[in-house]
Amino acid sequence: MRAVDRVLAVLLAVAGLLLGVLVVVEVVAAAVGRGPVALPYGAVAAWLRETPWSAGAAVAVAVGLLVLGLLLLVAELTPRRRTDLVLTGTDPAVTTTLSTRSLGHVLEAAATATPGVERATARARARRARLSVRVALRDADEVARVGREAQAHATAALEELRLRRTPRLRVRTRQEAR
């Protein structure tokens, strides 16, 4: 699920839960002969009976609900970002995938295996992968050399995976402040 889906699901679930509790409280209160406890449903029902569909308030509520429904529909129908990359295999009946998060971990591990690399962080998508390498050396030539080696290790790791479509790798080397 996407983050938007999760937030909307939680908000709608909480609203439904609160409405359900209120309805139960009102039903129990009506069963024991008490008036409305939390919701003045008598006044609301009278207002609804007296208000025509063409009234400004009714039209505003209808338009608001229509816009909310369309926003929810658009949010659900927009294509999600691909998070799985397909690997080439020997058996055409089997499809093997690798998540973009796992690809990022593979690139980080390949870069940190390079001598001189302090840290590496990677973010991968279906078409592009970004690798940021931190080097704890002071000499600019050494930093560039270690960066090239880290890029070579990461490129080799990408090739070893044998992805159907290999993302373009961009490596950024930074000097770690000590």
Euclidean distance between the first and the last CA atom of the chain, given in angstroms as a whole number: 41
Q: Which residue has the tokens 């069963």?
A: 31
Q: How far apart are CA 44 and CA 172, in angstroms?
A: 63
Which pair of structure tokens corresponds to residue 103? Answer: 């690809």
Q: Dihedral sign, CA of 144, 150, 154, 155?
A: positive
- The pairing of strands 96-99 and 117-124 is unpaired
Q: Please report the pLDDT score of residue 178 as a whole number.
A: 61
Bridge partners (DSSP) listed for residue 169: 129
**pLDDT tens readout for residues 92-140:** 888 888 899 999 999 999 999 999 889 999 999 989 999 999 998 778 8
- Are the CB atoms for 168 and 155 separated by under 8 Å? no
* Topology adopted by domain 84-175: Alpha-Beta Plaits (3.30.70)
Cβ neighbours, 10 Å, residue 64: 10
Domain ranges of the chain: 3-77, 84-175
**pLDDT tens readout for residues 48-107:** 899 999 999 999 999 999 999 999 888 788 887 778 888 888 888 888 888 999 999 999
